Amino acid sequence: QVQLVESGGGLVQAGGSLRLSCAASGSIFSIISINAMGWYRQAPGKQRELVARITRGGSTNYADSVKGRFTISRDNAKNTVYLQMNSLKPEDTAVYYCNAEKVVINTRVYDYWGQGTQVTVSS
């Protein structure tokens, strides 16, 4: 069994920065590959939305609302993904979820989600 463990959320003032981390834990030695990892967020009363995603090869895509402010990076050897968030705005307030897409374990493929970490930006 594999779990995604997130850290780095918290309360910050507008204009500040936070760095989120997400690491795979559990039976990580059984992981053959992870196609893509990403961050999603869900604000109260809203649908979950993609924030940023990075493939195994390093290709990235971002939501328009965070381009130029957020940077996603990945350490394939550690099965870890990071999200550096700068110039935070109150509208960035949400629960942020880590996602691992198409995780190959033996001959099967899985998608995993983290438990979520709260990011609150005060004005």
β-pair partners for 61: 53
| pLDDT tens figures, 50-59 | 999 999 999 9
Confidence of residue 4 (pLDDT cuts 50, 70, 90): very high
Confidence of residue 25 (pLDDT cuts 50, 70, 90): confident
So what's the pLDDT on residue 28? 76
Contact assessment for residue 15 and residue 73, using Cβ atoms and an 8 Å cutoff: no
Residue 27 has pLDDT above 90, yes or no: no
Q: Give the type of residue at 115.
A: Q
| pLDDT tens figures, 50-98 | 999 999 999 999 999 999 999 999 998 888 999 999 999 999 999 999 9
DSSP 9-54: -EEEETT--EEEEEEEEESGGGEEEEEEEEEEEE-TTS--EEEEEE
Q: What angle do CA 77, 36, 78 make, to 5 degrees?
A: 15
Measured CA to CA, the distance from residue 3 to residue 67 in angstroms comes to 28
Contact assessment for residue 40 and residue 96, using Cβ atoms and an 8 Å cutoff: yes
Residues in the chain: 123
So what's the pLDDT on residue 72? 98
DSSP 73-90: EEEGGGTEEEEEE-S--G
Confidence of residue 115 (pLDDT cuts 50, 70, 90): very high
